[in-house]
Structures are given as C-alpha cells and as structure tokens.
Structure 1
Amino acid sequence: MTFRVLVTDDIDRDGIALLEAEPALRVDEVPTLPVPALMERIGDYDAIIGRSATRISAELLRHAPRLRVVGRAGVGVDNVAMDVATELGVAVINAPAGNTVAVAELFFGTVLGLLRQLPRAWETMREGKWDRASLMGAELKGRTLGIVGLGRIGGEVATRAHAFGMELVAFDPYVADARFAALRVRRAPTLDALLDDADILTVHTPLNDETTGLIGRRELARLRAGAIVANLARGGIVDDVALQAALESGHLKGAVLDVYAREPLSPDHPLRQAPNVVLTPHIGANTAEAQRNVAVDVCAAVRDALLRGELSRSMNVAAVAGEWKELQPAMLVARRAAAVARAILADMGVRAVQRLTVRCGSAIAGGRELLLSAAALGAVEGVIEHDRLNLINARALAEGRGLELTAGESGMLPPNALEVSLRGAMQELTVAGNAPADGGPRLTRIGAFHVDVNPRQTLIVLTNRDVPGVIGRVGTLLGDAQVNIAEYHQARMAQGGEALAVISVDGHVDASVRQRLCELPDVQGASVVQFRGA
C-alpha cells in the first residue's frame, strides 16, 4: 500500500529525506498554498506536514477523507482544529523538543540585551556616538527568576540560569516534585507566591483555556516594582494591553516579547515604540539547528504512524507513561477483552452498554488512559459506523453514545494483567487478560470462568452443560463447516454443572454456523467474536 504525503511551509530537507527513503510513501513538496488550492488537493493525501503558515481548519479536515495524520514541525498546534481531528480519527503530531534549546538561548539573549541596553547601544554606535554614560546596565546574578511552566523549555531555561548565578522559583502544578529537585528549582505553591518572589518572570506553557490571560493586570501589579516580564511561549498568555499599561506606569522595568496576541504585530502597535521593551518577530525556533530538529522529529513520527500505526507521538491520543511498544500487548488484550464482553452481552439481549471500566496491574497502570482508549475501541467497533474509527476517536465516540469510561490500578491483579468490565441493562460482564513481557497476550477469564486462550482472528464462546460428548459434537460441526480450530479451552465451575468453552479458530464464522452450534444438545448459547485490526 502506498501513502501520499503533502509537505508544505518550507520543511527542512533532512526531514523530507526520511519520508522519501520509504518506498511506501509518495511525497509531494509544495510551497505554502492558499486555502482554495489546498482544499482542492487535500483529498488525495493520507498525511500533511507543515508549520504554522498552513491552517488545518475544520473545513479542510472534513474535505480530506483519506487523511490519517497531520504533522506540525514545531510545538504549538494553534493552527489545527484539534477537536475535529479527534472526531475524525486524524492523528495530530508535533515536534515539542526540537526547538527547546533555541528558545532557551533566545530568552537569555533578549533578557541580557534588555538589561545591558544592547539595542540602544547598537543604535547610538550607528549614529556615530560614544555614549557610555547613558548605557548603564544591570546583571542577572543574584536576581530571582520566576518560571511559569517547568516543562522542556522551562527546564532548559532553569539549567542555564544556574550558570548566571540566579535564584530559581517555578510554578507548575502538573510537574512532579522530583523534576523540581533535579533542576534545583524551588517550588512555588501558587502562581501568586511566585509573582511575589520574581525579579524576572518568564512563561513557558501552552496556550489553552487555562493559560489564556494567565498573566493579566492583577498578576502584573503583584510583581515587584522594577520587575521584567518575558513571553517567548504563546501570544495571549500575557495580556499585551495590561503589560503595556504596567510598562507605561513605570511599575515594570521592561519586557521581552517574541509572541503576541495578534501576529504579525501591527506596524503602529504602541509596544513597538516602548523604550524598555525588546521585541522579536516570533523567532524562538528560528535557528538552523531547531528547524532541522523539528523537521526530522515530525517526519519520523508521521512515517511511523503511517507505516507502523505508531501513535505514541499523537497529541490526541492519551498520554503514555511508558513505552508505546511495551504497551502494545496490553492494548491488544484490552481491545479484545472489550470486544468479547460486548459480543456476549449483545447475545444476552443487552443492546446499550452504559459503563466501561478498565483495571490494570502495576506494571501497565501508567498507560491506563491509553488502555482505556483501546478498550473503548473494542467496545464500539462493529457497533459504530465510522470510516476512521481508531484509538484517537474511540473514546470520544463512545462517550458520545452515553458510555461512561473509567480506568484505574488494581493491586489484586498480576503486574501485566488487566480486566475490562462492561455494564448495561443491569448486566455486567468482566473479561480479564494478561500481557506478559516474555509471552503472547492471553485472555484469562470470562465472567466467573478461568480460561487461557490467545485472542486471535476469531473466538467462539460457548456456554454448555458439563456432560460427555459436547466437545466432540462441537468439533465435528466446526470441521464439517470447514472451520479450523487453533485452540479449544474448556472451563467449568463444578462437575456436571455449567461450563464455558473458548475456541480460537481461523477465518470467518458465519451466522449459520453459530445457529447450528446453539442447536446442539446441551449447548446453551454461542457468541462469535470476529476481531478487527491488529
């Protein structure tokens, strides 16, 4: 199978070369296209890779029936309609680490430029002056740097700030204490506590509902008189109007901005004339090294998503605390277990499932959200008609049908084991499995019955009376129907009581075979589960 990839917005050639090296990928490299031209051709592509110049709108996504992946050679995905991409099952992949050093270095370059009045010094030298007396500067040493967001870039800034002899304090409710300790940064319990301590404030967070306007009039007023504010993250995190007012009042000594609420910054914007501001035109990632890094990172991730179904880098797949590859067996078990539970409940007359619960052993609990996505996929595939049903949109589609999803860790399970429970119409069924690191995935329990079977291709789940002859009659019927048995596991609660058989078979089992199985003496019911996907 050949996948077509559209590359635009001047992506570095080292990244494109990774794609062109794959025989299964056909790459078209084009300049940034106007919206009508892009809309006309996007329907022919399985992936698009670009930077910020190309807007991946909801309308564009809905005009792209083949599209599987959107690659963003950079950090922010403000130009991508994430909700629609998730709804359609389109993976959105960015390159969050490639420009980390570039942004951190720009922070220090611009802040030092502000403190040492370098823009003014350059200007006076060009004017033929030698104006040392008016160019008194200040040092970083001994100042307290307040960092909002201690992720990749915030961490790089912190590492370099130690070399300048700065005191460091940071606020980030989503980062563990261990990272603060490793970076030798004091943790501020609240944003206000950080603002009270900071001589220089820098923000390194994404732009979202929580961070828009995070640093506004109140926060700026709380900073010490003579403080400096830097925003090299995303325009809108710092309120530009409030910042301008704080600068004009003299409360702030200065500001460093690389990003703005509206870009490009208008030619007559008042900030352009402020003497105590260093402005740059969103060049945080504009180094040759950074552009190469983000291009290579995103192109490799898009390649792996198309050719190997590797979605660990997708922003709209649940985060994985662990390795994607290591979780693959557990994901398969979760998906298959949910499909088995769904099929059995359907044959019991349960048409609508209200709740799906995944419980995980300690070794795989870090990936519980991803395993929940896999179980949701197993629960809805075959029920929901969707051309691109996958891990990306399964949870949203399941929840849209009223399915309540929960996941957690269970100390009662072996480390690599999990349970999937489906509940509906006052009926609940739990299917358990195991995904050991040194063996293949297995289903280990269906309801109260302990089983041991590889969930491959097709499973037949029979309930029957525990009497002689049932296994032989089932085997004969399947043989006559040209259905090859791979595994046959019989389980019972007590001799002569109710029993359950799980039969792994090759190929398709049609409805007539199931009906004949149900008509066999002592067989009480039969469910056929045809598994989809890998």
Structure 2
Amino acid sequence: MYKILIADKLAQQGIDLINATEGFEAVVKTGISEEELSSIIGDYDGLIVRSATQVTEKVLENTGNLKGVARAGVGVDNINIPEATRKGVLVMNTPGGNTLSAAEHTMALMLALSRNVVPACNKMKSGGWDRKLYVGNQLNNKVLGVIGLGRIGMAVIRMASGFNMKIMGYDPFSIPTQAENFGVQITDSLEEIYKNADYLTMHIPRNKNTENLISKEQLEMMKPTARIVNCARGGIINEDDLYDALENNVIAGAALDVYNEEPPENRRFEKLENSLVTPHLGASTEEAQIGVAVEAAEVLMDSIKGGPIKNAINAPAVSESAPKIIKSYSELAQKVGRLMNVLKAGRIKKVVLEYRGTIANEDVTPLKTSFSIGLLQQNFDVQVNIVNAGFLARERGISIDEVKNEDCTNFSSCFTAKVSTEIGDYSVTGTLFDDNIMKIVSINGYETEFTPSGLIMLALYKDRPGVIGSIGTACGKYQINIGTMSVGRKGGKAMMALSLDQNLGKEAQKALDEVESVEKYTVCDFE
C-alpha cells in the first residue's frame, strides 16, 4: 500500500481520488511543524503540499520511502528543489489548474472597472442612489492589449473575443498559431499597444526583463480613458508610478490582483475611487482548487507507480545511463539555448539544430530537449524541463528541425543552433575539448573561444583602434572586473566576449552606451 501524506488543506476531491485508487491511501495531517514532518516523512511514498508547508532541507534529511512531492498550485518556492533532487525525490506542480480561473478573474476585473461596480455598490449600501455618477463603458468594440500570449493570455483572448473586443497581442518570444484564429493583431511594438489600448492586461512572468515594464513613461503614452488589469505578477507595473497616474487621472483606472509585497504594507490604492484591488484571487475558485487537488493527486500517483511523469520540476534531461558525450553535450546545449535567448531579437520563426562529427552518430534526443530548456526558461513562469519542454515549444508555435552531419571541419564534433526571427538570423556553435571542457567557438559567424559559465558580456562593435580599451575603461570605472576576453573579427566588425565578476549596473551600461563604435551589447548569466 502506497501512502500519501496531505500536509496542507486540499480539496476533498483530490483526497477521495487517492483513496479510491487501488493500492493508495491518503493520510491528512495539516498544520504540522517542520520537526514533526521531518520525523515522519520517510514513512510516506508521496507528499502533497500547497504554499503553507515548507519542505526544507531538514524535512528532506531522511526521505526513506519518499518518491515524490506534488505542489497543488504553480509556485514551488516552499520546496527545497536542489535538496529534493540530491535525494532523488521528484518535485511536481500543477500549472494548468488555474488557467481559466485567472483568465476569468481578469475579465471580471475588466468588467468591474468598466461599469464602476465596486463604488456603485458601496454607494448604494451606504444609502445612496446615483445612476448618473456611475455611468460606465462597454467592452464591445474596445481595443484590448494583451502582453504575453501563453496559456492564460490566450484564454483571456478567447473570452474577450466573445465581447467583440479588438485585440492587439504582443509577445517578445513567439506567437501561438491559434492567435490568428481569433483575429489578434500581432504587433512588435509595446509602444503601439500602450498608445492604442483601451484596456491593457499582461500575462508574463516577473524577471529582470519584465520588472517595472510599465512605469511613468509607458503610462503617459496611454489614452486618458485607458484601464489596466494585472492578474499576473506584482512588480511588472511600477506601483508608485501607477498610483500617481491614477491620482492625477493620467489613465482612467486600474485593477490589481497582485503586488510587489503580499500582503501589501502600503494600502494606498484602496483610497482611490478609480482603482480596484483584490487579494490575489486569480486561482481562488472552487473549480481551480478542485482542479489542482485532483491534478496533484494524479501526477503524484502516476510517478509513484512508475507511469508517465508529468509537470516534473526537477526531472533530469539526461538519464544516468546515457553515454558521457551525451551528458556533456546536453549540458552544453542548454547553455547554448540560454545564450541564444539573450542574443536573438524578435519572435522566433524557425529553429535548426546541427550535430556534426562524432556526436552525429549518437542518439541526440536529449540535446534537443536540453537546448529547448535553455531557450525557453526565461520566458515562462513555470519550470521548463524534459517533461514539458517539447509541449511548451509547440504551444508557442516553435518547431525545431535537426540536421546530422558526420563531417566537422575544425573539431571532432560540435553543436550548432540556428534561430530565425522576423528581425534576423542568429547562430551559436559550441564544442567540447577533451570530452568535457565546454567552449562557445562561434557566434553569428564570429569566431570566439570562451567557457559558458558565470556572467559573459557580448559586445558587437566596429573594428577600430581603441574600442577594446574604451569598453574596458567603461567597465573598470564602475568596478566591473573582467576575467577573460575573446575577440572574433569579420567584415570590418568584431564580436567581443568578456567574462565578468559582477553584472553591469545602470552607470556602467550608460558608459557603454556612450562608446561610439559599440553597436550592441548584452550579458548572459549561465548560472
């Protein structure tokens, strides 16, 4: 009999499913301490948690029979994934269970903003009756700007289409094929969305590229009648700038379900009539709670029985039995994917992976998966791994072709990724020296040689005397230490790869912007 411990409050349907499955038993023990959980966890084959229970290193000291941990929800910040991986414990989540709930909440907030539902309700409850004061607006024929066309963004588009809204879509990474079916006007320009949208909603992860994506500058581009809804992540909108914009009627309204800090210490938005705030209710529906409970039970039981592994956060891309060359090249392929993600500009149209030399004689399936993980991860708010990498790529309309060639001119073997976007073509080639030393040896045709680890800055510049010194001076002035340097030259231009001890701050970036011959630079964090 497999025993599954339920450590947090879970919808009864998930518990019932476990108990109704032959060979499984659910044991509910909620609110237990770290000490108690660590003392009993080894007696269970599986563990289901939500956000309250902390699965710490101490909890995972003696895993015993434990085979998997399932999070009934998306976030896994409360689970020590590195320690679980070291102990061979699979960690899974349930990213699909809240899609419709989050999309519906977005629409609910949009409608509530449009029809002044909350202030009108409060007025009437206090004894008032003023229909003229709360005249609203229809969604029909209005322009909806959607930033981020993943699962939730596309669900919002489907719902908004039913209101006959004109939809503009932006995604910096790729465009799902089904977006065309809903008549979405795809744009490459966020500025175009800001200027034209009557309603704006974003469904993107929070990372260094999206933090403060919407600040004073973007808010001032918008129509004075525009309204913003954020059910994605706190920090995507600069809250100080949004408050000022609402207070000064720069835009007509905003609805927030997520915040920089949760719960927010500053409750100022509650004072504004043109703002609507809810306490992170995007996934808070009975159906969503049932959905994640059932999904958590299903994925955990499947993994325990040795069935298909779904939604695994820490599933390895390469099996332990794989040849050494495949293990090494898989690690390299993931780093090439990560580099390509920061190198390329525009949305991906086509991907081709080339395997040359001795690697072409091997089963290279893990390399494709590893490359996909590196390429995709920074663009998703779920962990990308061997289980979902292919699905997520297909969902976003990305197809990956593969070419094998036993000939390799300069190396015994090499791996090349070529990506085409609407802006241009990009290529990265990597190889292994002595079967385990990873090197990037070509970027967009520029010959380089650097190890893909730590922080690497790539700079494209006109090949003139003094440019290397100017770049070094700009970095040194702001205490950015350079470890190694590699330069490739062709056609009057050069590509420089610098390993940095710390990332570029705003001052260093400004100094590099002022180096006349530098056309473009970017930093890739390989860790």
Deviation at 1:28, TM superposition (A): 1.9
User: In structure 1, the residue corresponding to 2:201 is in which secondary structure?
Assistant: strand
User: TM-score w.r.t. structure 1 length?
Assistant: 0.59
Summarize deviations over 1:136-191 as a string: whole Å, max 9, x none: 11111222111111111111110111121211112223333523213321212143
Go from structure 1 to structure 2 and tell me whether the alpha carbon gap of 1:114 and 1:49 turns closer, same or farther (over 3 Å shift): same
Hey, what's the Cα distance between the residues in 1 that align with 2:155 and 2:102?
9
Summarize deviations over 1:45-93 as a string: whole Å, max 9, x none: 4432122223444554556465442322223334444455455554332
User: TM-score w.r.t. structure 2 length?
Assistant: 0.60
What are the residue-to-residue correspondences of 1:7-406 with 2, within 5 Å?
7-57=6-56, 60-61=59-60, 64=63, 67-82=66-81, 84-86=83-85, 89-176=88-175, 178-266=177-265, 269-308=267-306, 310-317=308-315, 338=323, 368-370=367-369
Hey, what's the Cα distance between the residues in 2 that align with 1:310 and 1:293?
19
Hey, what's the Cα distance between the residues in 2 that align with 1:12 and 1:21?
15
Q: Check whether the contact 1:93–1:315 (CA below 8 A) recurs between aligned residues.
A: yes
Summarize deviations over 1:322-346 as a string: whole Å, max 9, x none: xxxxxxxxx88xx65616999xxxx
Summarize deviations over 1:231-260 as a string: whole Å, max 9, x none: 112222223233222212221211111122
Summarize deviations over 1:253-275 as a string: whole Å, max 9, x none: 11111122222234x61112121
1:409: which partner in 2?
402
Q: Check whether the contact 1:356–1:420 (CA below 8 A) recurs between aligned residues.
A: no
Q: Check whether the contact 2:10–2:293 (CA below 8 A) recurs between aligned residues.
A: yes
User: In structure 2, the residue corresponding to 1:5 is in which secondary structure?
Assistant: strand
Summarize deviations over 1:427-450 as a string: whole Å, max 9, x none: 99xxxxxxxxxxxxxxxxxxxxxx
Hey, what's the Cα distance between the residues in 2 that align with 1:166 and 1:214?
24
Deviation at 1:312, TM superposition (A): 3.5
Deviation at 1:370, TM superposition (A): 3.8
Give the gaps of 5 or more residues in structure 1. 320-330, 343-351, 374-390, 394-406, 414-418, 429-534
1:471: which partner in 2?
none
- Identity across the alignment (%): 32
Go from structure 1 to structure 2 and tell me whether the alpha carbon gap of 1:356 and 1:230 turns closer, same or farther (over 3 Å shift): closer
Q: Check whether the contact 1:231–1:259 (CA below 8 A) recurs between aligned residues.
A: yes
Go from structure 1 to structure 2 and tell me whether the alpha carbon gap of 1:43 and 1:372 turns closer, same or farther (over 3 Å shift): farther
Amino acid at match of 1:172: D
Go from structure 1 to structure 2 and tell me whether the alpha carbon gap of 1:355 and 1:140 turns closer, same or farther (over 3 Å shift): closer
Hey, what's the Cα distance between the residues in 1 that align with 2:90 and 2:48?
12
Deviation at 1:217, TM superposition (A): 3.5
When the two chains are superposed, the root-mean-square deviation of aligned CA atoms in Å is 4.0
Hey, what's the Cα distance between the residues in 2 that align with 1:39 and 1:82?
16
User: In structure 1, the residue corresponding to 2:252 is in which secondary structure?
Assistant: strand
Summarize deviations over 1:100-154 as a string: whole Å, max 9, x none: 2222222222221111111122112212222112111111122211111111111
User: In structure 2, the residue corresponding to 1:133 is in which secondary structure?
Assistant: coil
Aligned residues: 368
Q: Check whether the contact 1:146–1:198 (CA below 8 A) recurs between aligned residues.
A: yes
User: In structure 1, the residue corresponding to 2:47 is in which secondary structure?
Assistant: strand
Q: Check whether the contact 2:326–2:367 (CA below 8 A) recurs between aligned residues.
A: no
Q: If you compute each CA radius of gyration, which structure gives the higher value, 1 or 2?
A: 1
Hey, what's the Cα distance between the residues in 2 that align with 1:427 and 1:22?
46
